[in-house]
Chain A
Amino acid sequence: MMESHRQRAIVSDQSRPLLKRYARLQYDPVRSAWALLSPEKVFWPDEVSLDILKLCDGRHTVLQIVAELAGQYDAAGEDIAPDVEEFLQEWSDRFLVTL
Chain B
Amino acid sequence: MSDTLLPPIGMLAELTHRCPLQCVYCSNPLELLKADKELSTDAWLALFEEAADLGVLQIHLSGGEPTLRPDLEQFVSCLSRRGVYTNLITAGVGIAEGRLERLRDAGLDHLQLSIQGAHAPTTEKIGNHRGAQEKKLEVARKVVELGLPLTINAPIHRHNIEEVPAFIDLALSLGAQRLEIANVQYAGWALLNRNALMPDREAVERQVEIVEEAQWRLQGILAIDFVAPDYFAIYPKPCMGGWARDAFMVAPDGKVLPCHAAGTIPTLHFERFGEASLTDIWAHSEAFNAFRGDDWMLEPCRSCDRKEIDWGGCRCQAMAIAGNAAATDPACIKSPLHSRMASLIGEANAIPSSNAEDFRYRRIGRA
- Chain B proximity mask over A7-50: 1 for CB below 8 Å, otherwise 0: 11100000000001110101010110001011110100000000
- Chain A proximity mask over B149-169: 1 for CB below 8 Å, otherwise 0: 101000000000000000001
* B contacts with A, residue count (CB < 8 A): 30
Given contacts A26-B83, A30-B7, contact A2 B172 (CB under 8 A): yes
- CB closest residue in chain A, given B149: A22
B323 close to A (CB within 8 Å): no
Report the Cα distance A20→B47, complex, angstroms.
Answer: 29
Establish whether residues B55 and A22, one from each chain, have CB atoms under 8 Å apart when the complex forms. no
Given contacts A2-B173, A39-B110, A95-B177, contact A20 B220 (CB under 8 A): no
Establish whether residues A39 and B7, one from each chain, have CB atoms under 8 Å apart when the complex forms. no
- CB closest residue in chain B, given A89: B220
Q: Which residues of B, 313-343, contact A by the 8 Å Cβ criterion? A: none
Which of chain B's residues have a CB closer than 8 A to the CB of A37?
Answer: 57-58, 85, 109
Report the Cα distance A11→B151, complex, angstroms.
Answer: 24
Given contacts A2-B172, A22-B148, A40-B225, contact A92 B57 (CB under 8 A): no
Given contacts A3-B172, A22-B110, A37-B58, contact A8 B151 (CB under 8 A): no
Given contacts A37-B85, A39-B151, contact A95 B223 (CB under 8 A): yes
Establish whether residues B221 and A3, one from each chain, have CB atoms under 8 Å apart when the complex forms. yes
Q: Which residues of B, 74-110, contact A by the 8 Å Cβ criterion? A: 83, 85, 87, 109-110
B9 close to A (CB within 8 Å): yes
B147 close to A (CB within 8 Å): yes
Q: Which residues of B, 284-330, contact A by the 8 Å Cβ criterion? A: none
B222 close to A (CB within 8 Å): yes
Q: Could you tell me the distance in whole angstroms from the C-beta of A80 to the nearest C-beta in chain B?
A: 23
Report the Cα distance A22→B83, complex, angstroms.
Answer: 12
* A contacts with B, residue count (CB < 8 A): 24
Q: Which residues of B, 215-242, contact A by the 8 Å Cβ criterion? A: 218-223, 225
- Chain A proximity mask over B171-201: 1 for CB below 8 Å, otherwise 0: 0110101100000000000000000000000
Establish whether residues B219 and A93, one from each chain, have CB atoms under 8 Å apart when the complex forms. yes
Report the Cα distance A72→B107, complex, angstroms.
Answer: 35
Which of chain A's residues have a CB closer than 8 A to the CB of B54?
Answer: 30
Report the Cα distance A93→B222, complex, angstroms.
Answer: 9
Report the Cα distance A19→B57, complex, angstroms.
Answer: 18
Q: Which of A9, A31, A35, A95 contacts B178 (CB 8 A)?
A: A95
Which of chain B's residues have a CB closer than 8 A to the CB of A8?
Answer: 219-221
Q: Which of B58, B112, B173 contacts A42 (CB 8 A)?
A: B58
Given contacts A30-B7, A37-B85, contact A92 B220 (CB under 8 A): yes
Q: Which residues of A, 71-99, contact B by the 8 Å Cβ criterion? A: 92-95
- Chain B proximity mask over A49-84: 1 for CB below 8 Å, otherwise 0: 000000000000000000000000000000000000
Q: Which residues of B, 103-136, contact A by the 8 Å Cβ criterion? A: 109-110, 112
Which of chain B's residues have a CB closer than 8 A to the CB of A3?
Answer: 172, 218, 221
- CB closest residue in chain A, given B9: A42
Q: Which residues of B, 11-34, contact A by the 8 Å Cβ criterion? A: none
Report the Cα distance A94→B147, complex, angstroms.
Answer: 17
Establish whether residues A39 and B177, one from each chain, have CB atoms under 8 Å apart when the complex forms. yes
Which of chain B's residues have a CB closer than 8 A to the CB of A35?
Answer: 57
Report the Cα distance A22→B143, complex, angstroms.
Answer: 13
Which of chain B's residues have a CB closer than 8 A to the CB of A9?
Answer: 220
Establish whether residues B87 and A28, one from each chain, have CB atoms under 8 Å apart when the complex forms. no
Given A24-B85, A92-B220, 6 more contacts at CB 8 Å?
A: A2-B172, A3-B221, A26-B83, A30-B54, A37-B109, A94-B223
Which residues of chain A have a CB within 8 Å of any CB of chain B? 2-3, 6-9, 20-22, 24, 26, 28, 30-31, 35, 37-40, 42, 92-95
The 9 closest A-B pairs by CB, nearest first: A8-B220, A30-B55, A37-B85, A39-B110, A93-B220, A22-B149, A2-B173, A6-B221, A2-B172
Q: Can you list 16 A-B pairs with a CB-CB distance of less than 8 A?
A: A2-B173, A6-B175, A8-B221, A20-B149, A22-B109, A24-B85, A30-B55, A37-B85, A38-B85, A39-B110, A39-B112, A42-B85, A93-B219, A93-B220, A95-B177, A95-B223
